[in-house]
Structure 1
Amino acid sequence: RDPGAPTAVPGPLTLTLISPRVCPAALWLAAAVEVHTAKEVVAVNGTNQRLKCTFSSSSPVSQQLSVSWNFQPEDLSVFYYLKEPYQPPSGRFKDRVTWDGNIERHDVSIMVWNLKPSDNGTFTCQVTNWPDVYGTIGEVRLRVVQKVSFSEIHFLAVAIGSASGLMIIVVTAVIICRQHRRKARDRRTEVAEPGQFISTALLNPWPVYLHGPPESLASSSPWPF
């Protein structure tokens, strides 16, 4: 560097050069649409499934709001919304997808009817709301199965329910057995009371007289009184 050359001093010019790089990012963050979806959905073959998708925007809902549903990895158009819903005119999703959302509630969900194994894949949901034309794209991974597979939570719930039912049955059986035993014991007591009196009379056949025997027995009795 030439010693006589002037030295550049950072000043307003430097800030002016940096600002254009920062402002677009800041504006994008301030004016972006956030899309929220369920990450994974499992459905049974032949049934219908609602694919939920909601959004949040920094701007009010405009008349130019648009929603695009696509299917990956084939990049097929599944559904489109602009002021009103539009179903695909052709393809394997024709007459199988209906609108199930509510724009006022920021809900842009759809319903897929008569699911097939070929529907396994990822559905994407993209929303633009002018001037919020940038934002995230929601993804829903759909798995179509032949039958419902119980998870660990289902097994735990069944086990707890079975144990509770068995406990109730055991407690009820114990209470019933105790009641039967009590009734049987009461019946034996009622029957045993007359028998005890009779057995006592047989063991002591000689009557006891408090004022001596009658005169008819006094003369014939060998016992001194």
Structure 2
Amino acid sequence: MRGWAAGGLLRLGLLLLYGVCSALSLEIKVDPEVQAFVDEQVTLKCSFRSFSPITQKLTVDWTYQPLTGGRMETIFHYQSVAYPAVVGTFRDRISWVGNVAKGDASIAIQNLTMNDNGTFTCAVKNPPDVHHNIPQTKLTVTHRGFSFQLTSAVLLSILVFLPSAIVVILLLVRMGRKFGVLKHRKKSGYKKSSIEVSDEPEHTEQGTCLGRMGTWCLQCVDTDEEEPY
């Protein structure tokens, strides 16, 4: 009987201890993976839920560990006010964007570099709620590709250049077709009418390069295509 009673008391004590630990714990959530770009800003989100009222004793600590390994470094601390890192890799580059009253413990990092790649952890304590999971965020920083670097000036240049290029191409095609028609007329023995002959300048020399160019330009602007005799 004594053994049964002792075992029952032990189980009851364990259940009570488990209930107390569950009641005095926090739930923390972060993004498992975040991608960002060099020289830009990224927000590392961290949300929490505490079963105790939020007080001035609540603390938030962000730590960082490089992808290559090494010791973990505390880069941000919050307790009523923000205390960003004043030394190290993230000096003067971290800002507080959270709101503990809404369960938000997020931070932002400016002017990202390739050396910022690594693992970040968000730890929140709100006594008596001090036990919680340790979620991690893996940050990957890369160079932004050319397709994402279209500034307003580049877009404006494209919008101006593209229509102009299309017009030039259409004109070249039109002139090429007319030039082909003229060559065909010349080979087939095309003869000009008396009106066309009278309209030609008297001083145009057909035998010279300048004369041939003038004749070709006059015939290009003539949109009426006559059939050869």
CA distance in structure 1 between the aligned counterparts of 2:126 and 2:29, rounded to whole angstroms: 15
Residue number in structure 2 paired with 1:113: 110
CA RMSD in angstroms, aligned pairs only:
1.9
- Deviation of 1:83 after TM superposition, in Å, equals 1.2
Task: Name stretches of at least 5 consecutive residues in structure 2 with no aligned partner.
Answer: 148-229
CA distance in structure 2 between the aligned counterparts of 1:9 and 1:24, rounded to whole angstroms: 22
Is the CA contact 1:124–1:140 (under 8 Å) kept in the aligned structure 2? yes
Residue number in structure 2 paired with 1:31: 24
TM-score by length of 1: 0.59
- Deviation of 1:112 after TM superposition, in Å, equals 0.3
Alignment map for 1:48-87 (pairs within 5 Å): 48-72=41-65, 73=69, 74-87=71-84
- Deviation of 1:67 after TM superposition, in Å, equals 0.2
Q: Secondary structure at the match of 1:70?
A: strand
Is the CA contact 1:31–1:132 (under 8 Å) kept in the aligned structure 2? yes
**Number of residue pairs aligned between Structure 1 and Structure 2:** 143
Residue number in structure 2 paired with 1:147: 144
Q: Secondary structure at the match of 2:89?
A: coil
Match of 2:6 among 13, 18, 23: 13
- Amino acid aligned to 2:80: K
Alignment map for 1:146-165 (pairs within 5 Å): 146-147=143-144
- Amino acid aligned to 1:121: G
Q: 1:33 to 1:149 in 2, by over 3 A?
A: farther
The answer on 1:133 being equivalent to 2:130 is yes
CA distance in structure 1 between the aligned counterparts of 2:115 and 2:56, rounded to whole angstroms: 35
For each residue in 1:148-198, what CA deviation from the matched residue of structure 2 results, as whole angstroms up to 9, or x when unmatched?
Answer: 599xxxxxxxxxxxxxxxxxxxxxxxxxxxxxxxxxxxxxxxxxxxxxxxx
Could you list the structure 1 runs, at least 4 aligned residues long, displaced by more than 6 angstroms after superposition: none
Task: Name stretches of at least 5 consecutive residues in structure 1 with no aligned partner.
Answer: 1-7, 151-225
CA distance in structure 2 between the aligned counterparts of 1:148 and 1:122, rounded to whole angstroms: 24
- Deviation of 1:95 after TM superposition, in Å, equals 0.3
CA distance in structure 2 between the aligned counterparts of 1:148 and 1:39, rounded to whole angstroms: 24
Residue number in structure 1 paired with 2:183: none
Q: 1:143 to 1:23 in 2, by over 3 A?
A: same
CA distance in structure 2 between the aligned counterparts of 1:24 and 1:78, rounded to whole angstroms: 34
Is the CA contact 1:67–1:126 (under 8 Å) kept in the aligned structure 2? yes
Pair member with larger Rg: 1
For each residue in 1:1-45, what CA deviation from the matched residue of structure 2 results, as whole angstroms up to 9, or x when unmatched?
Answer: xxxxxxx56532221123333332221112211111111110011
Q: Secondary structure at the match of 1:18?
A: helix
Identity within the alignment, %:
34
- Amino acid aligned to 2:97: D
Farther off after superposition, 70-79 or 106-115: 70-79
Residue number in structure 2 paired with 1:40: 33
Is the CA contact 1:53–1:138 (under 8 Å) kept in the aligned structure 2? no
- Amino acid aligned to 1:56: R
The answer on 1:123 being equivalent to 2:116 is no
Residue number in structure 2 paired with 1:102: 99
Q: Secondary structure at the match of 1:22?
A: helix
Q: Secondary structure at the match of 1:11?
A: helix
